[in-house]
Amino acid sequence: MANTSDTRQESLLLAINSARTSTSSRHFRQLLLIFTSRLVLALTALPRWYGIDLDATGAFISAPLPPEEQVYLKGIPGYDLPKGKCLRLKKTI
């Protein structure tokens, strides 16, 4: 059974080779975008790595709540909380 990283490397090399031989590199650019996006997502999943939101919507969604704005929630179905406990949001949703 082939290693998945070997398979990905082989498919990337095939895409590079086909981009060199074809007149249009549109397919190659799309494939490279997919590989780059997957690499960035994989890196942000590693411990001590994090993503920074540079757009207004993304920055608002993951913004920390100010200390004067405290939001508490009841327990969600399937997640049992001890009696008298609730959830406190740390970031906006």
Structure token digits, residue 1: 């059974």
Q: What is the model's pLDDT at position 2?
A: 52
CA 67 to chain centre: 27
pLDDT, mean of residues 54-67: 70
pLDDT band at 60 (very low <50, low <70, confident <90, very high): low
Q: What is the model's pLDDT at position 15?
A: 72
Residue 27 · residue 19 · CB < 8 Å: yes
- φ, ψ at 59 (rounded to 5°): -65, -35
pLDDT, mean of residues 30-57: 77
**What pTM was computed for the model?**
0.34
pLDDT band at 20 (very low <50, low <70, confident <90, very high): low
Which of 72, 90, 91 has its CA nearest to residue 81?
A: 72
pLDDT of 27 > 60? The answer is: yes
Which uninterrupted H or E stretch holds 88? strand 87-88
Rounded Cα gap, residues 60 and 93, in angstroms = 8
pLDDT, mean of residues 12-38: 72
Q: What is the model's pLDDT at position 21?
A: 56
